[in-house]
Chains A and B, each alone.
Chain A
Amino acid sequence: MTTPTKRLTTSAMIASFADEGQRTAKAPFGQALVRLAQERTDVVGLSADLAKYTDMHVFREAFPERFFQMGMAEQVMLGAAAGMAEVGLVPFASTYSVFATRRAYDFLCLDIAEPALNVNVVGALPGLTTGYGPSHQATEDLAILRAMPNLTIVDPCDSLDIEQAVPALAAAPGPTYMRLLRGNVPTVLDEYDYTFELGKAALLRPGRDVLMISTGLMTMRALQAARQLERDHVDVAVLHAPTIKPFDTGTVLRETAGERLVVTLENHSVVGGLAESVASCLAFAGRGRRIVPIALPDEFLAAGALPTLHDRYGLSVDAITARVRAEL
């Protein structure tokens, strides 16, 4: 399916980061959850007055008796999800990332993660996927959550990643947090020999000069940047690391063994996300080396249109290629 998108010029809350003419899939999370629920009667859904904006409405319409509206109350939503898991259900609880992490942290930590329950928290608007301003931009959700024991953290790239991650998250026995891409979500990874595997990073393309280690939607940008750099005879490998925790240190150590320039790309603050996951992985193994972090700055970001902001904060393809050229 192809959905034409216009370059946005407003700071609307709900915006698409898909490029013009890019293939997209509609509400891949909701569709995947419905398919999973058709197979598993223990799967239930909850939302905190944001079903419609987290693609949970697709599940709500398909399985109204298995959807639980908790109101604009994230603490009780996560507490209740824990209670449901305690009695043998497999809940998916959706809200915006900022509310799941900043507002309801204690409930995710103590009700869900400490007893290692199979609760799957789904957070929309991760990083810079809304131009609405800091209230809705979850630029530090990975940093908040990475130190939480037992929690699996996934940052999917596209609709294919989301579709494949959903059953994998339900199958994993413990708690998970997935950064949700919602609405018309680009479809990118079907062009590669790739299957989502929880806990694994996957090499999407080889390259001699540069190794890009990317997560989330920045893998899409990394692949686009790699194609642009190809024209300048810069050969770029892209390693997609959708699972932030547990981090695939084995693959990262293996791929960073040579002399290639290592660039990390993430839709998250430069503090506490992928860049620091890679840096600590290398340093803890005695393999400290310079890495180039492409990430959001350690700031509260501006409101504005996503394309404008992605240019400003260095996440756009042009900004990435310029940064890599400058580093070579």
Chain B
Amino acid sequence: MSERVRRLQESARRIRRYALDMGEVQGQGYIGQALGVADVLAVAYGDQLRFRPDDPEWDGRDRFLLSIGHYAIALYAALAEAGVLDVAELRTYGCDDSRLPMSGMASYTPGMEISGGSLGHGLGVATGMALGLRYRGSDARVFTLLSDGELDEGSTWEAALACAHHGLGNVTAIVDVNALQADGPTAGVLRTEPLLDKWKSFGWRAVRVDGNDIGQLVTAFDLLAEHRAAPSVLICDTKIGHGVPFLETRPKAHFMPVEPHEWQLAREALEVPA
């Protein structure tokens, strides 16, 4: 295992830990999704994105758009790990007057580029940012994190067409495929597979990896970064609750129930190296 991968694994573990801390504050949150996507965020923020932690508005930064606003708990954890937020502030998660509301909103939180909540928006805004950055002569890149459920939204595909049509090689979409959405398994709610074929047929460079394998993620991000002729999509198969064995095996639910005494047990489970 390379030092790079080992370092990012440690980072992902801290992101999970921060997410569990926030989940405990409210006794709820999209903790299953946060645990699942932690590795993707660790690689994005710890290895791929160009940004300045002390200057989140820096004009030359790569943009990371959280299209799935309900994953805010995961992004706050990643922003704390990245040094954009203070770890101590995570204790305010979801509280009145906090900068960390339960759904991600740009006006509340440093480092939160857009307001989510209504799905199917992120890729469209990314399209405009990428067009605008290219027009302005900036080499900054635009990343946006989508979910597989969000692929139900037609607006996502409007944007997918536009990115390909305009040759936006500065766009990287990341799709968190946890195969679950509000009403049940994605395969039963509205079938979106085969994802690789769909994105490729839309004119995208598409790669699919195990989104809980840091080594695979690093390799895939590196590969896509070299390719700037067309937009890229990294499809990440992730496991809800990943990193906490007793949550990984819990019956799958959009809102994963966690008992008050289980938050500490979950944190302890994280400390056991995978």
Scoring A73, A78, A79, A110 by chain B CB atoms within 10 A of each residue's CB, the highest score goes to A79
Cα A167 to Cα B48 in complex, Å, equals: 40
- Measured between beta carbons, the chain B residues less than 8 angstroms from A247 are none
Q: Are A73 and B158 in contact (CB under 8 A)?
A: yes
| CB pair A76 B159 closer than 8 Å | yes
Find chain B residues with CB under 8 A from A81 CB. Answer: 128
Interface size class of B (residues with CB under 8 A): 20 to 34
Contact status of A79 and B135, CB under 8 A, knowing A106-B118, A114-B115: no
List 17 contacting pairs A-B, 8 Å CB cutoff, sorted by A: A73-B162, A75-B124, A75-B158, A79-B123, A79-B124, A79-B125, A79-B128, A80-B125, A83-B125, A83-B129, A83-B132, A84-B129, A87-B132, A88-B59, A89-B136, A106-B121, A111-B124
Cα A75 to Cα B155 in complex, Å, equals 6
Rounded to whole Å, the gap between the CB of A149 and the closest CB of chain B is 12
- Whole-angstrom distance between the Cβ of A75 and the nearest chain B Cβ: 4
B121 and A80 contacting across the interface, CB-CB below 8 Å = no
User: B161 in the interface, Cβ–Cβ < 8 Å?
Assistant: yes
The dominant DSSP class at the B interface is: helix
Q: Are A80 and B115 in contact (CB under 8 A)?
A: no
CA A115 to CA B142, docked complex, whole Å: 19
Cα of A171 to Cα of B43 in the assembled complex, Å: 41
Minimum distance in angstroms from A235 CB to a CB of chain B: 51
User: A79 touching B132 by the CB < 8 A rule?
Assistant: no
Please tell me which one of the listed residues A80, A83, A110 contacts residue B118 in the complex, with CB atoms under 8 A apart.
Answer: A110
Which B residues are in CB contact (< 8 Å) with A114? 107, 115
Q: Which residues of B contact A86 (CB under 8 A)?
A: 63, 113-114, 125, 128-129, 132
Please give the residue numbers on chain B whose beta carbons come within 8 Å of chain A beta carbons, in ascending order. 59, 63, 106-107, 113-115, 117-118, 120-121, 123-133, 135-136, 138, 142, 154-155, 158-159, 161-162, 165-166
Q: Do residues B115 and A115 form an inter-chain contact, with CB atoms below 8 A?
A: yes
B117 near A80 with CB under 8 A, answer: no
Which of the residues A66, A83, A85, A91 comes within 8 Å of B127, measured between beta carbons? A83
User: Quick check: B136 and A79 within 8 Å, CB to CB?
Assistant: no
Interface size of A by CB at 8 A reads 28
CB-contacts of A79-127 with B (<8 A): 79-89, 91, 106-107, 110-111, 114-115
Q: Are A76 and B155 touching (Cβ within 8 A)?
A: yes
CA distance A91 to B128 in the complex (A): 10
**Do B115 and A79 touch (CB < 8 A)?**
no
User: With A and B bound together, what is the CA distance between A86 and B142 in angstroms?
Assistant: 12
Known contacts A71-B165, A76-B159, A110-B121, A87 near B133 by CB under 8 Å: yes
For the complex, give the distance between the alpha carbons of A106 and B126 in Å. 16
Instruction: Indicate whether A115 sits within 8 Å of B106 (C-beta atoms), given known contacts A70-B162, A79-B155, A106-B118.
Output: yes
Q: For residue B125, which residues in chain A have a CB less than 8 angstroms away from its CB?
A: 79-80, 82-83, 86, 111
Q: How far is the CA of A162 from the CA of B159 in the complex (A)?
A: 31
> Does A313 reach chain B (CB closer than 8 Å)?
no
A65: interface (CB < 8 Å):
yes
Contacts of B113 in A (CB 8 A): 86
Given contacts A68-B131, A86-B125, A87-B128, 9 further A-B contacts (CB under 8 A): A76-B159, A76-B161, A79-B128, A80-B124, A86-B63, A86-B114, A86-B129, A111-B121, A115-B114
A83–B127 Cα gap in the complex (Å)?
7
Does A315 sit at the interface, judged by CB under 8 A? no
